[in-house]
């Protein structure tokens, strides 16, 4: 849904909104934000809002790095877990460096790719399915390795203690315009999944970040810790995170073969953790969907989506080597013409430091 500036300003006034969060991500996909008061919003719409990007983008220079936040009007969303009186809303921002968009703004990179797809009248739908464990907290509010319940796959209450938490999460997601379609207990004790409706690539990436934020906030409000990491409990089932891509059927085999050929080049961005390289991540074709496994805990959804889309269209010859560890994945990415054509060196270099 599209909104005008006046639509948003009227909504802020009429619905007792007291805080507006301007949200963006750092290079590794971590959500950042700052809050402004309602009387500042019109000026932000007119001029943007300057921030110091030095500590957000890990710049080595000592000088102040002046970056400009530009709200995307179509991303306005209420934050339902905040008070209903004196409401809080969120606007996702793109970032400018002077008059040009900042080259390290991964969301803008994906926006440009989506614009190209739209111009070609190509329709892709992305859906992310991410598991998470609900773990108990200790007396100091820190997470433990004790799961919230001992339930199994699709169990119900009273074995499944997480159903009320999942219900609260689903209702909050719905209020934000993110449509959950399935939720249930998974195989591990305290392990859950909530699956949301497929969306265009940009909206799906926006929603992936919002999803983890909602789950973590509402879990904390219920005295729990939501853990999205690959294997929170060493002896239990791992968390899965699958990206399902619905493609035009006429070319799906070609897209899948191209992605397979270039997988090792983009693997670093799908598996940005040295402990994941002894794990076999899925990449498969299922009917009219391509399924890519990653980990929602560590990735930047904008970068992952951008690289996956570009790889699907890249017919060039690729090196199908297997990366045995993260050092090899870094070297493969560094030498990839695909990666270098999508992600500027200033942005990809953050990942080359992960080893």
Q: Who contacts 29 (Cβ-Cβ below 8 Å, separation ≥6)?
A: 106, 209, 298, 299, 300, 301, 302, 303
Percentage of the residues of the chain whose pLDDT score is greater than 70? 97
Higher pLDDT, 249 or 52: 52
pLDDT the model gives residue 59 = 57
Least confident span in 205-214, 295-304, 318-327: 318-327
pLDDT the model gives residue 13 = 92
- Domains, in order of start, for the chain: 5-102 (3.10.20.70), 113-124+247-353 (no CATH), 131-227 (3.30.590.10)
pTM more than 0.85 = yes
pLDDT the model gives residue 11 = 93
For residue 86, give the DSSP letter.
Answer: S
SS3 category, 248: coil
pLDDT tens digits for range 119-178: 999 999 999 999 999 999 999 999 999 999 999 999 999 999 999 999 999 999 999 999
Q: Who contacts 286 (Cβ-Cβ below 8 Å, separation ≥6)?
A: 244
Higher pLDDT, 63 or 229: 229
Among 67, 22, 16, residue whose Cα is nearest residue 40:
22
Rounded to whole angstroms, how far apart are CA atoms 290 and 255? 9
């Amino acid at each position: 849904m599209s909104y005008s500036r006046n639509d948003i300003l009227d909504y802020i006034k009429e619905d007792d909104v007291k805080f507006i969060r301007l949200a963006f991500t750092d290079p590794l996909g971590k959500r950042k934000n700052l809050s402004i008061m309602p009387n500042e919003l019109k000026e932000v719409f007119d001029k943007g809002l300057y921030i110091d990007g030095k500590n957000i983008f890990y710049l080595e220079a000592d000088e102040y790095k002046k970056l400009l936040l530009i709200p995307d009007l179509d991303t306005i969303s209420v934050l339902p877990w905040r008070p209903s009186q004196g409401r809080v809303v969120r606007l996702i921002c793109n970032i400018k460096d002077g008059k040009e968009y900042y080259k390290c703004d991964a969301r803008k990179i994906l926006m440009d790719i989506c614009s190209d797809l739209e111009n070609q009248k190509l329709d892709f739908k992305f859906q992310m399915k991410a598991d998470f464990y609900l773990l108990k907290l200790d007396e100091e509010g820190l997470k433990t390795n004790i799961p919230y319940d001992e339930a199994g796959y699709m169990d119900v209450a009273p074995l499944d203690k997480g159903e009320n938490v999942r219900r609260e999460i689903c209702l909050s997601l719905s209020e934000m315009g993110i449509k959950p379609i399935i939720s249930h207990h998974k195989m591990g004790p305290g392990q859950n999944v909530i699956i949301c409706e497929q969306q265009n690539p940009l909206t799906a990436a926006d929603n992936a970040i919002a999803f983890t934020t909602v789950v973590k906030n509402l879990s904390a409000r219920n005295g729990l810790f939501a853990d999205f990491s690959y294997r929170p409990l060493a002896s239990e089932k791992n968390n899965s995170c699958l990206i399902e891509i619905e493609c035009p059927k006429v070319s799906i085999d070609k897209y899948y073969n191209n992605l397979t050929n270039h997988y090792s080049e983009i693997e670093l961005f799908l598996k940005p953790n040295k402990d994941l390289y002894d794990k076999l991540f899925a990449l498969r074709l299922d009917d009219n969907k391509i399924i890519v496994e990653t980990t929602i805990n560590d990735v930047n959804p904008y970068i992952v989506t951008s690289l996956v889309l570009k790889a699907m269209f890249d017919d060039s010859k690729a090196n199908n080597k297997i990366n045995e560890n993260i050092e090899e994945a870094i070297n493969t990415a560094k030498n990839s013409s695909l990666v270098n054509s999508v992600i500027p060196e200033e942005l990809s270099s953050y990942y080359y430091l992960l080893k």
